[in-house]
Amino acid sequence: MIELRSVTKKYGDQAAVMDLTLTVSEGEVCILIGPSGCGKSTTIKLVNRMLEPESGEIFVNGRNVRGFKPEFLRRRIGYVIQYVGLFPHMTVSDNIAVVPKLLSWEKGRISNRVDELLHMVGLRPETYRHKYPHELSGGEAQRIGVARALASDPPVLLMDEPFGAVDPLNRESLQAEFMKIQKELQKTVLFVTHDLDEAIRLADKIALMRDGAIVQYDTPENILAHPANRFVHDFVGTDRALKRLSRYSVATIMRRAYSLSMHDYPTTVHEYLKKQPWLRFLWIVGEKGELRGWLDTRDFKEQGAEAEVITEVKDPHFGLSDDSTLRDALSRMLAEGVKVLPVLDRERRVVGEISLKDIERVTEEVTERWSE
């Protein structure tokens, strides 16, 4: 779907990209990563002809990009950049509709597409359709940028540090939304990042670059397990097994959680312990099933039905979503000083739990496979 053959781009005597050959198969997410100045963003801009190479050929969907006028080519390729680039004088709806209007879509089709895309990126159309960019948070603006890139349903997406300008919480949320969208749409994506954890989490293939050339092009698993040389080994770091946890979502290993309504305490605790005497933690929930705290059954047995054995959750971000990674889970456990965390849905209702032992088991399995 995207193919670069022996592509070279120079600025004077300095080569930004040197004899670069790369193939991204249909439906794959290929992430370009490497030190600053290695040629990542230059490669992206060569594909949509924002830059022209000195030599080599570039193909998109089997056609040489030189066969298109640049403006027509760009209408066939979605493009997302770090600082979004929304038009400040246009509403969210008009920003998303830019390319469909250029393609002369009918008004009804454009309106339906705008609403569809807002839903897809997790924003309510009735709330955001008529807003202007200055009324959006950084994370919301970045979601609109993704929606605009998808507006004409292009087969190819180019993404240049798309989540680099947002805070860590929004970044994690945007990555999760991107994974959901990609699972549904299966676009061919060439994605630039400087964040190795992001690359490991999102990529089907990683192209690690240095001095305008690809040093290793492989799956995240193989790059972590089998670095091609010392540079790759040092770039991915010594905590390779921990980085591998970014490839697993909490949903893949979470287990059943036992919860208890505040109104049923303490009677139901006794019933739980009769049937499951091994049970250590119970999650305490409110009227709508939302997380309120937890109960350590060991303390309950020792102290009886005293209210002090319930630990109230005060941090609104306590817990995990099912699309959090195992690395996120481990980090949260260390930060909170706990060995078990609840998994929550969007309404903060308990849908499962994950423990430190679960993560240790996955880490051991990964280490065993690498040693084979």
**Residue 360: alpha-carbon gap to chain centroid:** 23
Q: In this structure, are strands 291-296 and 310-312 parallel, antiparallel, or unpaired?
A: antiparallel
How confident is the model at residue 170, as a pLDDT? 76
The H-or-E segment that residue 60 falls in is: strand 55-60
Q: Is-contact 44 160, C-beta < 8 A?
A: yes
What structural domains and CATH numbers belong to the chain?
2-237 (3.40.50.300), 251-363 (3.10.580.10)
User: Distances in Å between the alpha carbon of 136 and those of 140, 142, 143, 223, 240?
Assistant: 6, 9, 10, 38, 37
Paired tokens of 305:
């039905």
Cα separation of the two ends of the chain: 34
**Strand 29-33 to strand 205-210: parallel, antiparallel, or no bridges (unpaired)?**
parallel
- What stretches in the chain show pLDDT beneath 70? 83-84, 165, 262, 264-267, 304-308, 366-372
15-54 tens-digit pLDDT: 999 999 999 999 999 999 999 889 999 999 999 999 999 9
Instruction: Using alpha carbons, list the distances in angstroms from residue 365 to 15, 240, 245, 359.
Output: 43, 14, 11, 10
Identify whether the C-beta of residue 103 lies closer than 8 Å to the C-beta of residue 75. Answer: yes
Cα–Cα distance between 359 and 361 in angstroms, integer? 5
**pTM, whole model, 2 decimals?**
0.79
CB atoms < 10 A from the CB of 128, how many? 21
> At 250, which amino acid appears?
V
CB 87 within 8 A of CB 94: yes
Indicate left, alpha or beta for 51 from its phi (over 0: left) and psi (-120 to 50: alpha): beta
* Whole-number pLDDT of residue 269: 76
Tens digit of pLDDT for each residue in 339-371? 899 999 888 999 999 999 999 888 777 666 666
- Using an 8 Å Cβ cutoff, are 76 and 156 in contact? yes
